[in-house]
Amino acid sequence: MQTLIPAPKSFTLRPGVLGLGAPGSAVTVRSDSVAAGSVADWLGQRLTSDHGIRPAMGDDGGPQIQLQILTQADVGSSGFADSPAFCTTIGQEQGYVLEVSQDAAEIAAMSPHGLQNGAATLLQLLHTADGRVEAPCCRVEDGPDVRFRAAADWLLNAEINRWGYERGDGLEATIARMKRKLDQAAAYKINVVWFDGFGWDPDRTSWYADFVRELTDYAGERHIRLAFSGYGGGYGAAYQPGSLYSGRYHGHAFRNRNSYPDGEPYDCVGHPAYPTSWTYGTCLSNAALAKLKLAELTNFVARCRPGVMYIHDIDTGGIVSSLDGWTRRCPQCKARWPDDEMASAKGAAGGYGHWFRQVVQAINAISTDDGQYSAARDCEIMFIGPTYSGFQDSDDLWTDYCDYCSVLSCCVGPAPNVEFGIREQFVSDTPPGCRVPMLRSALDEAGCGHGVFVVPFVGGDNFYSDQLVTTVGALHSYWQGAETVYVSSMGSVGEPGQLLCANYAWHAAAPGAYVPAGTRAEALELRGRCATGVETQDDLLGSSGLLGAACKRLYGSEAGPLMAELFSLGAGHGVFPLATGWRQAADEAAALEAGTEDEDGSQTRYWRQREELTSMALKLGCEALEKALPSEGVREDVAWLCTGLNVGRRICQALRAGREWQADKAGETREQFDAAVSDLRAYLDANVPGPTTDPVGGDVAIWNMVVDRLDVLSN
C-alpha cells in the first residue's frame, strides 16, 4: 500500500479488501443530506477521473460508499467522543472516521469539510490490482493539528506576487490549470492556497475580479480558501529597495495628509531606517485616511470574495524597531495615545487596535445577497506588522511581544476570524518551551477569540534559497497552537514540497518530524541548516523518504523515483538546480549589469555548479517524460518543469560566462558570453510562449528580464 499523505492520526489495517470492480464499473455513492451530497459529487468526479469508476445513486446491491454527517449526539452514542477525529474543536470541524469493509466504505464526520477529508483518504487507499480497483479493509480516525494549512504556495516572490502557474498559454488555460491544482490541494487536505498579491485593486486587469471570483467559488466548493496579500499601511513597496519590491503594487499607496486628495504629506509612525516611510499611510488618528483605506479594502472583499486577507502594515519587524517607529508619531496620535510603550492600551497596542478594529468591522460587514459568501464566516483577517517578531529575538523580547499581542487583542475586541502574524519562532530557554504555544496562551487569556498566524521563511522560499523541495515542513511541531501556518516555498515549481508541508501541518508528529529542540541554540542551528539548504534527512528527501512517496503519488510509480531524485539534487550542499529565474538568477544578472565584482571567484564557481546540477535535473526530467504518467495534466507539469530547467541551464551558463568575462577581458571569454546570451534568447523565443496572464508576468517575464539585462552587457 502506498504511503497516505497526510499521515493519519490513527490507522488500523484489517484483513480483506473492498472491491469496486474493473475500470468502467459502477459504485453506489450515498449521502444522508444535501450538505453531504456536495462531497459525494466531488468524490464521484474523482472516482471517475482517477480510477475510471462510475458513481451511481441507486442501490444495485454492489459495493457502496456512504457519507454521513454526525451530530454531537451521534458522536457520543457511537463511541467517537474520545476519537482523535473529534476530540478537538478543529477535529469537529475537519475530522473524520473512515471504515472500509469488504462490502462498503463508510465516511462519518461532523461537517462537509470533514467528509471531504475522509473522501480524500479513501481515494488514496484505492489502487488497481489485477485489473480491479480496490481498497484495503481498515479503520481511519483522523483530524488535523493546524486549522488552516497553507501548504500550497502558488507565488514565486515570497508572499508578494509572481504566479508560479503562469505558463504563457492564456487566461483560459491558466484557469483550467488552477482548477486542476485546487483539486490536487483538496486531495491532500490543503485548505489554504497562497494565491496573489500585492495590493487591493480588483481592476488591475479588466478581467481580474471575474477571474478571481470563479476560482474562489471553485475553491470554496472544495473547502479551500484563497489567500490575498496587500498593505493596510506603511506601503513598503513604495520605498524599500531590493528585487522583492520590483513588481508593481496593485493598489493605492496612501499618504498621511491633512486633507485629501492633495494636502501636504506629514510624518507620523514609520520605519526608523526609512524616513520616506513616515508619510506612507501610517497615521492612526487620521479619520479621512482610514476612510479611504477601508473603502479600498471593502471594495476588494466585495468583488473578489477572498478566503484570507493578509494585511501588512509598517515593515519594522522587531519590537525594538517598532517601538522606535512608534515614538515618531505625530502630535495628534500622541494626544490620543500618549504612552511611548508597545504593550499599552494608551500606546502602540491601543493605536493599532483602534485601526485593526475598524478593518475587522468593515470587512466583516461584507456579504453577498444570496448568503453564499459572508466575510465574517468565510474570510480570515491576518494582521502583519508593525512588529511580527523574529527567530533571532531574545527570550525577553519574545515575552515583550506576547505582552504586546495580549493588549492588542483586547483593544481589537472579539472577532473569531482575526489572527496576528509572526515569522517562524522556535523555543525559549527562559521560560523553557516552544514559543508559539506561549503566544497562543496569551491570546486565549485575552479572550477575544484571536489566533496565531505563522509565516516561516526557512529556505526553499526564494528568500533565503531557491531549493526546490526542503525539509522545512517537518518543523511544524514547533508551531503547534497556530491557527494558520503558511510555509513560504517553491511549491508551484517543486510541487512535492506541497505534500511534505501538508503532511506535517495535518500531523506534526508524523514519521520524519523534527522533535522540538531542548534549547534555543539547538533550534536556531537547525533553522540555519534548513535556510541554507545543508539540512537533509533520509526520512524526508530521496526516493526512499517521504519525498519519494509524494513523487509516486504525483507522477506515478515509474516516473516517481526519477522525480524524487531530481528534487533531491543538491540537498545537503546548499547548491541546487535552477528551475526559475526568480530570485537568485535575477539578482545575479542585476549585479553583473551593475558591475559588481566577483573578487574571489566564488560566484563563477557557484554558477558552474548550478549549471552542472541543472543539466542533471533536466536529464532526469526528460527521462520521466518517457515514462507512463498519471494524466495529461501531469505530463504538462513535467514538461513545463523541463522547460524551466532548460532555461535555467542556459541562464547558469550565461551567468558563469559573464563572470569569467568580467574576470578576464580576453576576446574568447567575451565570445563565450555573447554565445550563451544568444542561445538563451533563442531558446526563449522558440519555446516559451506569451503574452502572460499574471499582471507581473510570472517566470516568463522574469526569464525575459534576465536575458534583457544580459543583452545590455553583451551589446
Q: Is 47 helix (H, G, I), strand (E, B) or coil?
A: helix
Q: Are 395 and 438 in contact (CB under 8 A)?
A: no
382 Cβ neighbours under 8 A, 6+ residues apart? 308, 309, 310, 311, 419, 420, 421, 453, 484
Amino acid present at 5: I
Residue 115 burial (10 A CB sphere; 0-12, 13-18, 19+): buried
Q: The CATH number of 10-142 is which of 3.30.379.10, 3.40.50.10490, 3.40.50.1970, 3.40.50.1220?
A: 3.30.379.10
C-alpha cell at 541: 528527501
DSSP 344-389: -TTSHHHHHHHHHHHHHHHHHT-B-TTSS-BHHHH-EEEEE-SB--
What mean pLDDT do residues 281-291 have?
98
pLDDT at 394 over 80: yes
pLDDT at residue 296 greater than cutoff 70: yes
3-state secondary structure of 408: helix
600-627 average pLDDT score: 98
Percent of residues in the chain assigned helix, strand, coil, to nearest 5: 45, 15, 40
| Interatomic CA distance for residues 349 and 339, integer angstroms | 10
Q: In degrees to the nearest 10, what's the CA dihedral of 290, 295, 296, 298?
A: 120
Taking only the tens place, the pLDDT of each residue in 193-249 is 999 999 999 999 999 999 999 999 999 999 999 999 999 999 988 888 778 888 889
Query: What is the Cα gyration radius of the chain?
Result: 26
Q: At what angle do helices 112-125 and 171-187 cross, to 10 degrees?
A: 90
Average pLDDT of the chain, as a whole number: 95
User: What's the DSSP call for residue 315?
Assistant: -
CA distance 103 to 101: 5
Q: What is the pLDDT, as a whole number, of residue 60?
A: 60
C-alpha cell at 5: 499523505
Single out the residue of 246, 248, 251, 233 nearest to residue 358, CA to CA.
233
Instruction: Examine the pLDDT at 185 and tell me if it is beyond 70.
Output: yes
Quick one: which of 177, 205, 168 has its CA closest to 636? 177
| pLDDT attached to residue 310 | 98
Predicted local confidence at residue 278, as pLDDT: 94
Question: Rounded to an integer, what distance in angstroms lies between the CA atom of residue 471 and that of residue 464?
Answer: 14
All three cell numbers of 161:
506576487
Cβ distance 156 to 81 under 8 Å?
no
Report whether the peptide linkage leading into residue 635 is cis, meaning its omega lies within 30 degrees of zero. no
- Residue 57: CB atoms within 10 Å: 12
Residue 419: count other Cβ atoms within 10 Å of its Cβ: 24
For 550-714, CATH gives: 1.20.58
Burial of 354 (0-12, 13-18, 19+ CB in 10 A): middle
pLDDT per residue as tens digits for the range 506-561:
999 999 999 999 999 999 999 999 999 999 888 899 888 999 999 999 999 999 99
| pLDDT higher than 90, residue 665 | no
DSSP SS3 for 528: helix
What does the alpha-carbon distance between residue 677 and residue 687 come to, in Å, rounded to a whole number? 15
Q: Is the bond preceding 63 in cis, omega lying within 30 degrees of 0?
A: no
Q: Percentage of the chain surpassing pLDDT 90? A: 88
Measured between alpha carbons, how far is 472 from 492 in angstroms, rounded to an integer? 16
Q: Which residues pair with 109 in a beta bridge?
A: 69
Strand-pairing partners, residue 136, are: 17
Q: Answer whether residue 62 shows pLDDT above 90.
A: no
* Distance (Å, whole) CA 692 – CA 54: 38
Does the pTM of the predicted model rise above 0.85?
Answer: yes
Cross-strand pairs, 427: 434
Q: Is the pLDDT of residue 58 over 80?
A: no
- C-alpha dihedral sign at 163, 165, 167, 173: negative
- What pLDDT was estimated at residue 2? 87
Q: How far apart are CA 204 and CA 296, in angstroms?
A: 13
Contacts of 503 (CB under 8 A, 6+ apart): 5, 6, 7, 473, 510, 546
Q: How far is CA 602 from CA 283, 340, 466, 598, in A?
A: 46, 47, 18, 7
Give the torsion through C-alpha atoms of 503, 508, 513, 517, to 10 deg: 150
Cβ atoms of 74 and 131 within 8 Å: the answer is no
Asked if residue 61 has pLDDT above 70, the reply is no
Q: Which of 466, 631, 644, 471 is nearest to 554 (CA)?
A: 631
**Termini Cα distance of the chain:** 58
Write out the three cell numbers for 438.
506561549
pLDDT for the residue numbered 196: 97
Rounded to whole angstroms, the Cα distance separating 559 from 631 reads 12
One-letter amino acid at 385 equals G
Q: Per-residue pLDDT averaged across 347-353, rounded? A: 98
Structural domain spans, the chain: 10-142, 232-393+403-431, 550-714
Count of residues making up the chain:
715
- Which letter, b or e, does each residue of 169-193 get, where b requires 16 or more Cβ atoms within 10 Å of its Cβ? beeeebeebbebbbbbbbbbbbbbb
Given this model, what pLDDT does residue 239 score?
80
- Show the cell assigned to 65: 460508499
Give the per-residue pLDDT at 59. 62
Helix ranges (H only) for 191-286 are 208-221
Q: Per-residue pLDDT tens for 81-138?
A: 778 899 899 999 999 999 999 999 999 999 999 999 999 999 999 999 999 999 999 9
* One-letter amino acid of 208: Y
Check: CB of residue 87 under 8 Å from CB of residue 97: no
